[in-house]
Amino acid sequence: MIMTEAFWKTKRLDELNPQEWESLCDGCGLCCLNKLEDWDTGEVAFTSVACRLLDGSSCRCTNYPNRQAIVPDCIQLTPTEVDEISWLPPTCGYRLARDGEDLYWWHHLISGDRETVHQAGISARGRTVSETEVDVDDFEDYLVDWPLTVGQR
């Protein structure tokens, strides 16, 4: 059997086909958390308030094909966006591939199982509340730092 090197090690993000691109998502759900930006400093803070479309159990979008029509400020990740977004979690497959680093053992492309991201405690599973249950003026009450510290040893 001939082993080929993993595509995320041999291709730039802008060279990935749609299937490869989508497969880099580890399904952690962290990018689907609402964030607050300080208008003066540009600093971004995570909240535990999840997008209305995030399934809190699977950490997957409940209407992925139509998400931007339903949630107009949903960010469509592209290679350019990955370069420009500073708040991507340190464990994000897109960020790791961009930086030439390998994926973590729990990433489904390594483990072969989409549950390992949850088993490793990397995902938002069980840590969020839906934005439909929180008034936008109260988002500050839900500030968290764990999305930026997941995977730290």
pLDDT of 92-103, one tens digit each? 999 999 999 999
Q: Residue 153's pLDDT band (boundaries 50, 70, 90)? A: very low
Q: Which of 122, 25, 36 is nearest to 76 (CA)?
A: 25
Q: Within a domain: residue 65?
A: yes
Q: Within a domain: residue 64?
A: yes
Sign of the torsion formed by the C-alpha atoms of 78, 81, 87 and 93: positive
Q: Within a domain: residue 106?
A: yes
Counting the structural domains of the chain, the total is 1
Please report the DSSP string for 71-115 in residue order. Answer: STT-----HHHHHH-TTS-TT-HHHHHHTTPPPPTTSHHHHS-TT
Give the tens place of pLDDT for each residue, 33-56.
Answer: 999 999 899 899 999 999 999 999
Q: Within a domain: residue 105?
A: yes
Q: Within a domain: residue 116?
A: yes
Q: Within a domain: residue 44?
A: yes
Q: Within a domain: residue 1?
A: no
Give the three-state DSSP class for 64: helix
Q: Within a domain: residue 151?
A: no
pTM: 0.89
Domain assignment of residue 142, given as a range: 8-146
